[in-house]
């Protein structure tokens, strides 16, 4: 049995997709069509009861949540050097970065389209949408100044942290934030867009 990644277009699952593509693993990718609410079907809820992507089906069971999948792929395919899995401290720093993306940066963005998760009032949704350019700018300023070593997030080694921040940076234009103000993130994007594995994954979405 090969692994199967459930993903959705323009979603955070791109991070796990990129990590798998770089890992050397044999896997297949199955699209969940959010425009048809396929994530709410009984079939998909049997895969991921949370009704979200990504979900990675392995021979032992199903793993959800980007930070967990990224660490899993990195630990299972260490030759790909997706994360510094042999150094407990450096691994923690990489995990800290990924956790910040999941619990703060992705969440800031989600207030643009997913306000109904946290309020039933349409006026509140609108006020959340208005603040997203400010919160996403603050998040990426913090990433640039405090957490992105350069040329890659962890320094000289391209890693799953780059794949994850690249994924979220794809949303900045829609969030009315100019990515060009973030020098390190912009340079990383340029480098990744020229990478054939990244290109292949983007075209398959």
Chain positions contacting a copy of itself, by CB under 8 A: 49-50, 58, 60-61, 63-69, 71-72, 75-76, 88-89, 91-93, 95-96, 99-100, 102-104, 106-108, 111, 117-121, 123-124, 127-128, 130-131, 135, 142, 145-146
CB 58 within 8 Å of CB 3: yes
Q: What is the DSSP letter of 120?
A: S
Min CB(27)–a copy of itself separation in Å: 15
Q: For residues 30 and 114, which CB has a smaller minimum distance to a copy of itself in the complex?
A: 114
Q: For residues 92 and 183, which CB has a smaller minimum distance to a copy of itself in the complex?
A: 92
The pair of three-digit structure tokens given for residue 143, joined into one six-digit string: 């990433």
CB 68 within 8 Å of CB 50: no
Min CB(196)–a copy of itself separation in Å: 28
Residue with token string 């990224």 = 70
- What distance in Å separates the CA atoms of residue 86 and residue 78, rounded to the nearest whole number? 9
Min CB(135)–a copy of itself separation in Å: 7
Task: Give the HSE-up count for residue 92: Cα atoms under 13 Å, Cβ half-sphere.
Answer: 3
Min CB(151)–a copy of itself separation in Å: 20
The pair of three-digit structure tokens given for residue 119, joined into one six-digit string: 């309020």
The pair of three-digit structure tokens given for residue 90, joined into one six-digit string: 């450096």
Min CB(36)–a copy of itself separation in Å: 23
Helix ranges (H only) for the chain are 13-23, 42-47, 66-76, 88-100, 106-113, 122-142, 160-169, 183-193, 196-204
Q: For residues 41 and 58, which CB has a smaller minimum distance to a copy of itself in the complex?
A: 58
Long-range contacts of 41-45, Cβ-Cβ distance < 8 Å, separation of 24 or more: 44/6
Q: For residues 32 and 101, which CB has a smaller minimum distance to a copy of itself in the complex?
A: 101
Angle at the Cα of 21 from the Cα atoms of 16 and 23, rounded to 5 degrees: 90
Min CB(203)–a copy of itself separation in Å: 28
Q: For residues 147 and 191, which CB has a smaller minimum distance to a copy of itself in the complex?
A: 147
């Amino acid at each position: 049995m090969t692994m199967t990644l459930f993903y959705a277009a323009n979603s955070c699952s791109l991070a796990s997709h990129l990590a798998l593509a770089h890992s050397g693993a044999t896997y297949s990718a199955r699209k969940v069509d959010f425009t048809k609410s396929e994530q709410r079907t009984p079939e998909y809820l049997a895969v991921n009861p949370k009704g979200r992507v990504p979900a990675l089906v392995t021979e032992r069971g199903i793993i959800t949540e980007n930070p967990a999948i990224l660490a899993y792929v990195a630990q299972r395919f260490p030759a790909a050097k997706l994360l510094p899995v042999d150094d407990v401290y450096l691994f923690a720093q990489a995990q800290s970065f990924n956790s910040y993306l999941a619990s703060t940066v992705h969440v800031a963005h989600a207030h643009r389209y997913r306000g109904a998760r946290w309020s039933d009032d349409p006026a509140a949704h609108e006020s959340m949408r208005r603040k997203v350019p400010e919160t996403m700018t603050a998040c990426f300023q913090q990433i640039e100044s405090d957490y992105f070593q350069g040329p890659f997030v962890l320094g000289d080694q391209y890693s799953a942290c780059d794949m994850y921040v690249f994924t979220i940076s794809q949303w900045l234009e829609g969030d009315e934030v100019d990515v060009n103000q973030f020098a390190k993130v912009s340079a990383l994007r340029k480098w990744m867009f020229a990478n054939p594995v990244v290109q292949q994954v983007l075209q398959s979405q």
